[in-house]
Structure 1
């Protein structure tokens, strides 16, 4: 049975978690709104620059092909030299320490994954419909992190689960694992990542145009000037190119 002090700490922990979730929800909404505005504005820009964008891309591809052809020509000229030695193959050096580290990392990931999965598997809550959906959501996230995330991410989520914050007070038998003094770093880390993502999104040039230009549509003229100049330079660099030779 939990003591009065433990209950007080647990309540504080729950309040902190709810606050973090509220902050995360607000940031997600703001980020989503900004990304939608940027996406819509960029779609308008592309619709006004379609021909220039296509021509610029075609010339860029042609320029890269031309550069590749020049490189191959220089290599062919070097081969004619008496001292030229062709590289037959590449010697692959295996870093044993790195290989050992990767193996150990995979073992740790598998251990953390199995511990967390057994602890929060939905089947444990078959008699509590209110917890099954939450457990399913948590295990889905756990599988995703295990398959695509890093060891550090898995460790953080593992702590999040065993701190009791993933499923607050879901099982009396789970109290043996529950350590309410463990700081829930998962939500805090998610909050910091959202803040960083929001900050980076706001540094996008198109967002600055939207928020700083009195008339954002004037940016179209700036882009037309930029792509016209770039196309002019690319045409000069590729004027001797013969498409049939590339």
Structure 2
């Protein structure tokens, strides 16, 4: 009895060819892609670990310094307002001539907090303000110039709302800060994988991730964690820094 294979015409027979021999270029491309993908994932995990470690340390520092951080930002905003008022006064004097004299002296700008008769509302307003202020304090973004300006703008508006707005307005702005501003988070947003010719996309992502990793490693608080035998010694250095800075800001804002 003959086999079925013997009944197949000669031209229809074929020999199974290993995949590597059929499409070597495609396999090489796949292998390169897998290598790049693994490299990207490795960099991403390393960055996430550093951000988590640094973030936890910074949160501990802020817990000990929250009063100083909030007062420093309030006085910084006040000082900028006073400087703007002085500049405006000088411009008016130039427009009106050398003999112009201001009848009333330059008024010192103070932060007036709207009194709330309900103690519970006052406590809630204070909680929302402090929580939001610490979340967007410009010191968190000292190494990121683009985010630093945005953080300063947000905290300036936050101070104004806390000083003159009602509880509902503050509550709404608090929600906006935590839900609607992408600068408030350091976590890595997953990227959709888009494969372009010659793995350009993966190469570009690896380059971006390597730059972010270098930036994270160069952050001062991370260096403290790596270099200090006891990183909490840095807290005493920060306390001394803010004590000196607050003293100077209080003097600068005491008079207009």
TM-score normalised over the length of structure 2: 0.54
Q: Which residue of 190, 205, 226 maps to 2:205?
A: 190
User: Would you identify which runs of 4 or more consecutive aligned residues in structure 1 move more than 3 Å?
Assistant: 3-6
Task: Specify the alignment match of 2:230 in structure 1.
Answer: 215
Q: Kindly report which structure 2 residues correspond to 1:60-99, keeping only aligned pairs within 5 A, or say none.
A: 60-81=76-97
Task: Specify the alignment match of 1:232 in structure 2.
Answer: 247
Q: 1:141 to 1:21 in 2, by over 3 A?
A: closer
Q: Which residue of 46, 51, 57 maps to 2:73?
A: 57
d(CA) in 1 for partners of 2:207, 2:238? 34
TM-score normalised over the length of structure 1: 0.56
Q: Kindly report which structure 2 residues correspond to 1:109-120, keeping only aligned pairs within 5 A, or say none.
A: none
Describe the superposition over 1:193-231 as per-residue Cα deviations: whole angstroms up to 9, x where unpaired: 111110111000000001110000111000000011111
- The structural deviation recorded for 1:40 is 0.6
- The structural deviation recorded for 1:78 is 1.4
d(CA) in 1 for partners of 2:211, 2:252? 40
| 8 Å contact from structure 2 (residues 79, 249) kept in 1 | yes
Q: Which residue of 192, 206, 210 maps to 2:221?
A: 206
What SS class does the counterpart of residue 23 from structure 2 fall into?
A: helix
How many equivalent residue pairs? 146
Cα-Cα RMSD: 2.1
Which runs of 5 or more residues in structure 1 are unaligned? 83-139, 143-156, 164-182, 242-246
d(CA) in 2 for partners of 1:72, 1:80? 13
Which runs of 5 or more residues in structure 2 are unaligned? 1-18, 99-190
Q: Kindly report which structure 2 residues correspond to 1:140-179, keeping only aligned pairs within 5 A, or say none.
A: 141=192, 160-161=195-196, 163=197
- The structural deviation recorded for 1:81 is 2.9
- The structural deviation recorded for 1:6 is 6.7
Task: Specify the alignment match of 1:30 in structure 2.
Answer: 46
